[in-house]
A = this chain, B = another copy of it.
Amino acid sequence: MSGPNPAAPPLTLNRLSVYLRCLRQLEREGVARVSSRQLADRFHLSSAQIRKDLAHFGEFGVRGVGYEVSSLAGRLHSLLDLDQRHRLVIVGMGNLGSALARYFGFNDDSFEVVAGVDSSPGRVGERVASVLIEPFSELVRVVRDSAAEIGVITVPAEAAEAAYQGLLEAGVRAILNFAPVQLQERPGVRLKNVDMRIHLEEMSYFLGLP
């Protein structure tokens, strides 16, 4: 009964991505219908949680029957706004930035890396997987010209704050930060941190347990 809603819990949202992927897999296998239980068993999820998560956004299934795979996948796809193509700019085209340029650019029609910027003059002009490297100083112009909405920060820690300010100034609306630095969230700009060292240190902690 809930209408299409204002803002969903981030964890629910992340699981939606997971469900979508699982459904695509089933689609490839030619499965037409699936129950929350089957989904859960097959992909190590929780059936109650699948239903609750979906309930945030409406009704997608048929009682007594289950979900139609393609149709549910399609609706999750739209829900996540993946019908739109989103453009990314990568700030910092070192190892990680370059790897991501190749990784994101590939085989996906919802996301496209349209540019990379780097502060080291030696790299400017180079292309990484069709992504042209431009000078960091040109960030604002690059974002404007390419209409990029998402910024990716892959610079060393010392340069992260400047990269962040640059992206804010350039007007991107979402930022994925790989630098190990605490950035201050701004209203209207989605900030998400991906911190490899935190993951490693969590594992380290568990390795050190009795």
Point out residues on A near B: beta carbons under 8 Å.
6-8, 10, 13-14, 16-18, 20-22, 43-45, 79-82, 84, 86, 95-96, 98-100, 102-104, 110-111, 149-150, 173-174, 176, 180, 182-185, 190, 192, 194-210
Contacts and interface: CB of A to CB of B under 8 A. Distances in A.
A168 to B, nearest CB: 15
Q: How many copies does the complex hold?
A: 2
B199 A176 contact: yes
Contacts of A14: 198, 202
A100 B203 CA distance: 16
Contacts of A102: 95
Q: Closest 3 CB pairs between A and B?
A: A81-B208, A99-B99, A174-B203
A86 B207 contact: yes
A197 B45 contact: no
